[in-house]
């Protein structure tokens, strides 16, 4: 019988992270819910000409509906996570898979796929109700069940195709570069990330959406002039058929090098004026001119190597495996080291939420910089202000949230802070 060692330090860290993450999320969402009940329909003076009580009431109903669905979802998710660990599901699954095949790569693939089934089955009804209950009720979702199912299957296959070569390389490095696998895997991860950035807009994104070149006209002329003014070379301006699935709107840059392209949701074009779309694009160009993506990569790459360096020691510790019911012997064989990586994500994954305020602080700083750049480029911040207000209104996003909630949950500055900075 498989047993869990509750005196094991790794098991205690896992339990602590699960408890801290669960309680923190519950407290933050409750704070936001209570704040919304008291202030959700108040119209800030700065938005008195742009918002009405009816829209704010609808926003509150939308957020409340998502909150009520989130509560049972998170409780069951945590319960399932604890149950799978305590009942010895993962060691039993590993033993069963190893009885089917002695190929390390196929064993790892089967473990990850089959190990994810319980969580996927649990999340299924919540995902369906979110899409066909809440999102349709509030006029966002245009999905059919067939379309939704197709997206899920395509997403699963794409993730599998992307994950397979990385997993194969990791297993090979465990076997043939036991002391230096972490350095080589970090290099592979970096190269792989660049490769995905190159192929995503050309091969992956079109699997889910249709992208058509922006039609000739005033909007295209002004956006091309804006790109030229900033020295941004893109492979084209494209419109994505987002409205086939959702009423939510957005715009973004994607790709890397010559595959860079500007993508506008068709819903964005419908909701904003030409001047406002130009301001939104100017904001995105602000990220490019301030080298925000490169700066993030310069931070991320050393962080990835540092994490892999620590993992390279821990995955060789039999104590890690024994705590969760795995049997390794005095030395961990390379065939089991992928289990060690999985356990590391299980043990420390939930603690990552404590770092989000730091990550969000830097992200919000970048957003303010991009806003300021758009203001200078357009000569005024007002088009971006009105665009942000419209997008906030159309997406039924909360206008005011508690400070502590935004610190943990907003990687973009809240609407009122962005408007104040643009008009300041």
Among left, alpha and beta (phi > 0; psi -120 to 50; other), residue 272 is beta
Cβ–Cβ < 8 Å for 210, 240: yes
Distance, in Å, from the CA atom of 310 to the CA atom of 324, rounded to the nearest integer, reads: 19
DSSP 141-166: B---HHHHHHHHHHHHHHHHHHHHHH
User: What are 290's two structure tokens?
Assistant: 């301030």
Distance, in Å, from the CA atom of 65 to the CA atom of 80, rounded to the nearest integer, reads: 23
User: What are 119's two structure tokens?
Assistant: 């969580």
User: What are 79's two structure tokens?
Assistant: 């319960």
Taking each continuous run of H as one helix and of E as one strand, the counts in the chain are 19, 4
Q: At 253, which helix (H) or strand (E)?
A: strand 251-254
**Which residues are annotated as catalytic?**
284, 371
> Which distant-in-sequence residues (6+ apart) come within 8 Å of 266 by Cβ?
239, 240, 241, 242, 243
Cα torsion through 325, 329, 330, 334, rounded to 10: -90
Distance, in Å, from the CA atom of 250 to the CA atom of 390, rounded to the nearest integer, reads: 12
230 phi/psi in degrees, rounded to 5 = -95, -5
- Quickly tell me which residue has 């492979």 as its tokens: 235
Distance, in Å, from the CA atom of 30 to the CA atom of 36, rounded to the nearest integer, reads: 10
Cβ–Cβ < 8 Å for 411, 363: yes
């Amino acid at each position: 019988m498989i047993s869990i060692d509750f005196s094991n330090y790794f098991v205690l860290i896992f339990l602590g992270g699960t408890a801290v993450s669960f309680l923190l999320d519950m407290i933050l969402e409750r704070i936001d819910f209570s704040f919304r009940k008291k202030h959700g329909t108040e119209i800030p003076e700065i938005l008195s000409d742009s918002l009405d009580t009816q829209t704010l009431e609808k926003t509150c109903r939308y957020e409340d509906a998502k909150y009520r669905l989130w509560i049972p979802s998170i409780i069951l998710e945590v319960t399932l996570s604890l149950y799978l660990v305590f009942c010895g599901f993962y060691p039993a699954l590993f033993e069963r898979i190893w009885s089917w095949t002695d190929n390390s790569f196929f064993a790892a693939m089967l473990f990850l796929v089959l190990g994810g089934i319980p969580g996927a089955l649990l999340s299924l009804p919540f995902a369906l109700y979110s899409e066909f209950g809440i999102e349709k009720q509030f006029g966002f979702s245009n999905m059919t069940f067939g379309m939704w199912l197709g997206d899920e299957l395509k997403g699963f296959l794409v993730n599998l195709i992307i994950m397979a070569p990385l997993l194969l390389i990791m297993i090979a490095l465990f076997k043939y570069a036991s002391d230096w696998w972490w350095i080589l895997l970090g290099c592979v991860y970096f190269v792989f990330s660049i490769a995905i950035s190159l192929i995503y807009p050309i091969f992956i994104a079109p699997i889910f959406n249709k992208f058509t070149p922006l039609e000739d006209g005033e909007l295209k002329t002004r956006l091309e002039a804006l790109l030229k003014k900033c020295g941004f070379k893109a492979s084209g301006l494209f419109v994505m058929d987002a409205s086939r699935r959702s009423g939510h709107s957005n715009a973004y840059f994607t790709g890397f090098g010559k595959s860079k392209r500007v993508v506008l949701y068709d819903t964005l074009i419908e909701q904003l004026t030409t001047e406002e779309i130009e301001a939104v694009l100017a904001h995105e160009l602000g990220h490019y001119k301030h080298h925000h993506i490169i700066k993030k990569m310069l931070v991320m790459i050393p962080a990835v190597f540092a994490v892999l360096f620590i993992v390279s020691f821990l995955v060789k510790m039999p104590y890690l495996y024994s705590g969760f019911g795995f049997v390794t012997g005095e030395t961990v064989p390379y065939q089991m080291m992928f289990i060690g990586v999985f356990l590391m994500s299980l043990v420390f994954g939930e603690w990552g939420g404590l770092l989000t305020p730091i990550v969000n602080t830097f992200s919000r700083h970048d957003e303010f910089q991009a806003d300021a750049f758009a203001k200078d480029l357009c000569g005024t911040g007002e088009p971006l202000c009105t665009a942000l207000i419209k997008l906030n209104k159309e997406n039924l996003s909360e206008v005011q949230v508690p400070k502590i909630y935004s610190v943990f949950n907003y990687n973009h500055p809240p609407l009122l802070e962005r408007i104040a900075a643009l008009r300041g």
